[in-house]
Chains A and B, each alone.
Chain A
Amino acid sequence: MIRPDSEVILEVRELTASVEDTPILKGLNLTIRAGEIHAIMGPNGSGKSTFSKILAGHPDYTVTGGEVLYKGKNLLDLPPEERAREGVFLAFQYPLEIPGVSNLDFLRVAYNAKRKHQGLDELDAFDFDDLVRQKIELVKLDEGFLNRGVNEGFSGGEKKRNEILQMALLEPTLAILDETDSGLDIDALRIVANGVNQLTRPDNCILLITHYQRLLDYIVPDYVHVMEGGRIILTGSKELALELEARGYDWVREEEGAVS
């Protein structure tokens, strides 16, 4: 939902970044306001996933220039856990399996880390159990998944649903969904999209990173950006996604070339 007067949550200016001395982001600009849903599309290697990891604070990426303001503060100064507690959430493209760490314990520790940061009392195991059982309805996961190791032996779709369960518990202000649609069948895609839609509020925002228009049928973006060569080269409405699906990326490159 676009409201021009709503608070700016994320402001990215001329961001450049590299991994192992290879430049990946080359001057990225993006502004996201509260209540908005943005989608970034683009060919493989355009820097989409790098961008999402930089926002979450992945240590392998080095920011070489520009700035990222989150709710007016310099996001890049914060370690990953501080970003998470301040409301930045990255749903991973490939959620990790951590055998031996119970999913329920993990969710509780994460939830309580945020509560503590907000100055709230931590929830005990009993109360947290009630909360998580209520949230798990949203992603239609069986309660049995709570007692397994984190993502241990989960199918691709179950992992993605577990990510959305974490999102539901942590109630982020900025949720970044990195190719959350990859590896999902149509039913799982509907469940995940439905879960995400129920988590949108006027005071939060969502950044979808995807290859395909398919996800955008279910989570309808306010803006669609095309990323290429480490920059956003075109921004449009949701119709842009349909055009990309029909025509591919080459024409965007050509137009951009003509403009510049």
Chain B
Amino acid sequence: MTITVKANSDQADLPKASRANELNDLLNLAPPPRHAELGALRQAARDRLHEQTLPTPRNEDWRFTDLSALRTRSFQAPIPPLNPEIVAEVRHLLCERSFPTVAQIVLIDGYFCGELSRVNAAGVELLPPSLPAIAPPEVFSDLNTAMLADRVCLRLTGSLPEPVEVFCVSSRQQQSVVSPRLSVEVAAHGQATLIERFLSLTGDQQFTNSVTELSLGVSARLRHVRIQHQSPTAIHMGCTAVCQAQDSDYEGHAIDLGGCLSRHNWQVQIQGSGSQTLLKGLAIAMDSQIMDTHSAVFFNAPHSGSEQIHKCILGDRAHGIFNGRVVVPQVAQLTDASQLNRTLLLSDKARVDTKPQLEIVADNVKCSHGATVSQLAAEDIFYLRSRGLDERQARDLLVKAFALEQLVEIEPDPLRQEIEEALLAKLH
């Protein structure tokens, strides 16, 4: 008997041993850790991956997400540490942005860049890489942990007057795997805004596999804006793991713009009662971008609530995926959870797969979900054109209106305007 190995999409039919090799090939690209403390963490993840393979469409969680872009790209060597040319280019990239922040953290290719970072404000403390890891045991999170070069740990205390801004920039040093890792603890009663951006230097063809861990103490409040705007050739897998203590309040805004293949795995563990979670996502995909958001909110205590609105704007041959899991076990009585996914298709070839996944055991809860898919209404466009707007102006106005709900709460204003401009730039 002979086994024929076909290219790309039939990888699912590879024997398990071959698929394990794919993972090993990636693991072999792990750069040496910058801190000795990371050794044990990396090894534990490596051990967990021992039995794992890269997911295939047969895996329910990956049914709709075509990973062939990742499978077919050849990665060459471990990502090299920072060089001055790259740092200078990133410095140039950052100076275009302007609103006040209390601290700026810059990671380039997963390495903390002290030269471009600024961490000296009251209430912002850079810790050794020792915070407990709360990322879920999932293949890409484990891959991040197993391949860590660096880990930035921050503790935010008190009420911070301005945002903390984090830049994760992928360079084009070579085709390799970048594993940025950021862990933030908001102390009890603390209030902070975290702006996290994933960017690329032009020509980035790397695989950015990031993990961000956000831990909220009792009565802590965190506003989190995550913007994934990597180059159209980048591959991005990002995990945001949130852990909320009693009476905490997490408000997350995730904007996805870049990458040829991207997935945001957004996981919230509610550990104490009286917590509130708001998840607002906006994915804008054009060309043949594949953009996936998998979210999960786990209620592990009673009397908490979550609200989620996820919107996709899909044009050309783009493929959007949304899977929203809400888990309400017996202990989580009086949970109030709502979820809505709305998709706007701008072309006949764009496609969305959307799936709410409510797992409710508790009997005294309020949980709702819904999904809509629509196109721009011809009548709306005609109305605007009959008032002198050309077709492009009319469509822009209507798409902006669709996105508005997801942007209106984003602060500061220059950041929101920047996102609006990036959105419109993508449409043309």
Contacts and interface: CB of A to CB of B under 8 A. Distances in A.
Nearest to A96: B383
B98 interface: no
A80 B401 contact: no
A58 B397 contact: no
B397 A106 contact: yes
A173 interface: no
Given A100-B400, A100-B402, A101-B401, A95 B388 contact: no
B393 interface: yes
Interface in B359-410: 377-380, 382-391, 393, 397-398, 400-402, 404-405
B380 A117 contact: no
Interface residues of A, number: 30
A56 B400 CA distance: 25
Interface in A65-85: 79-81, 83-85
Contacts, number: 73
Nearest to B394: A81
A164 interface: no
A252 B45 CA distance: 88
Contacts of A114: 388
B388 A113 contact: yes
Contacts of A57: 382, 385-386
A57 B391 CA distance: 13
Contacts of A139: none
A17 interface: no
Contact of A98 (B380, B390, B405): B380
Nearest to A113: B388
B393 A98 contact: no
Contact of B386 (A56, A98, A117, A149): A56
B401 A81 contact: no
A113 B390 CA distance: 9
Q: Chain A CB within 10 Å — which of B379, B389, B391, B393 has the most?
A: B389
A170 B400 CA distance: 24
A105 B386 CA distance: 16
Nearest to B393: A109
Given A100-B401, A100-B404, A92 B389 contact: no
Interface residues of B, number: 22
B325 to A, nearest CB: 28
Given A98-B398, A100-B402, A101-B401, A109 B389 contact: yes
A90 interface: yes
Nearest to A149: B401
A96 B386 CA distance: 12
A50 interface: no
A49 B400 CA distance: 31
Q: Chain B binding site: helix, strand, loop or mixed by DSSP? A: helix
Contacts of B387: 84, 106, 110, 113, 166, 170
Contacts of B389: 81, 109-110, 113
Contacts of A83: 386
Contacts of B380: 96, 98
A73 to B, nearest CB: 17
A84 B385 contact: yes
A99 interface: yes
A54 to B, nearest CB: 12
A101 B385 contact: no
Contacts of A56: 386
A59 interface: yes
Interface string A216-258: 0000000000000000000000000000000000000000000
Contacts of A80: 382, 385-386
Contacts of A79: 385, 390-391
A101 B397 contact: yes
B388 A101 contact: no
A76 B386 CA distance: 14
A84 B386 contact: yes
Nearest to B396: A109
Contacts of B397: 98, 101, 105-106, 109
A166 B383 CA distance: 12
Q: Chain A CB within 10 Å — which of B382, B386, B391 has the most?
A: B386
A83 B385 CA distance: 9
A121 B120 CA distance: 49
B344 to A, nearest CB: 11
A92 B387 CA distance: 11
Interface string A141-163: 00000000100000000000000
B158 to A, nearest CB: 36
Contact of B398 (A85, A92, A101): A101
Interface string A45-68: 000000000001111100000000
6 smallest CB-CB distances across A and B, nearest first, come from A100-B401, A113-B388, A84-B388, A110-B387, A80-B385, A100-B404
Given A56-B386, A110-B389, 16 more contacts: A57-B382, A57-B386, A79-B391, A80-B385, A81-B385, A81-B389, A96-B377, A98-B397, A100-B400, A100-B401, A101-B397, A101-B401, A105-B397, A109-B393, A113-B389, A166-B387
12 contacts: A56-B386, A57-B382, A57-B385, A57-B386, A81-B388, A96-B379, A98-B398, A100-B400, A100-B401, A100-B405, A106-B397, A117-B388
